[in-house]
Amino acid sequence: MSLREQQIHRNSEILRKYIPEFAVPQIAIWIIEFDFKLKITKERSTKLGDYTSPRDGLNHTITINHNLNQYSFFITLVHEIAHLHTFNKHRNTVAPHGQEWKESFRILMTPFLSTDNLPIDVLYALRKYLQNPAAASCSDATLMRTLKLYDTHETNGHLILLEHLPYRTHFYIMVLVF
């Protein structure tokens, strides 16, 4: 087995814990081809993922929160890879979520857009979002709600959307002030 094949295999084993199986081979190859370091991080309340361009002799770095469900993790990862792809083409001469990034995101995501890969509700919401992707997938209400349906107790079990409560359910809202 060549060194490249070993790296792809190692990347695949790690990715299988976080993203859907259909995406593992391509993402494992992209990690090698785009030459980036993927860091799985603790939950951050302000962002799901982050891209940092190379500096001081370090590689491109992409960080993704560990607690995302497999579809949220996958979409966030491709979002961040699109930043890397845009940086490689344009350096720092374009807006972070400008037309160049939107086009890169669409190009990278397109091979995965199939009912063979994604549940129909995720596919529909993602296709709608890709018409004009925003800085964060959670800024698109349809996509966010759809992705939340795939959360588990391990990924985000404490979140319940009001629209999922049965009619006449009583609940309390707690406001914490610091």
DSSP 79-90: HHHHHHHHHHHH
Confidence category of residue 152, pLDDT binned at 50, 70, 90:
confident
Nearest Cα neighbor of 82 from 24, 41, 130 is: 130
Helix H or strand E encompassing 65: strand 60-65
Confidence category of residue 135, pLDDT binned at 50, 70, 90:
confident
The conformational region for residue 91 under phi > 0 = left, psi -120 to 50 = alpha, else beta, is left
Does any domain span residue 170?
Answer: no
Question: Domains in the chain: how many in total?
Answer: 1
DSSP, res 50: E
Res. 115: pLDDT tops 70 = yes
Does any domain span residue 12?
Answer: yes
Does any domain span residue 77?
Answer: yes
Q: Which amino acid is at 129?
A: Y
Structural domain range at position 28: 3-164
How far apart are the C-alpha atoms of 142 and 124, rounded to whole Å?
Answer: 9
Does any domain span residue 177?
Answer: no
What pTM was computed for the model?
Answer: 0.86
Does any domain span residue 172?
Answer: no
Res. 163: pLDDT tops 80 = no
Q: What is the mean pLDDT of residues 104-112?
A: 97
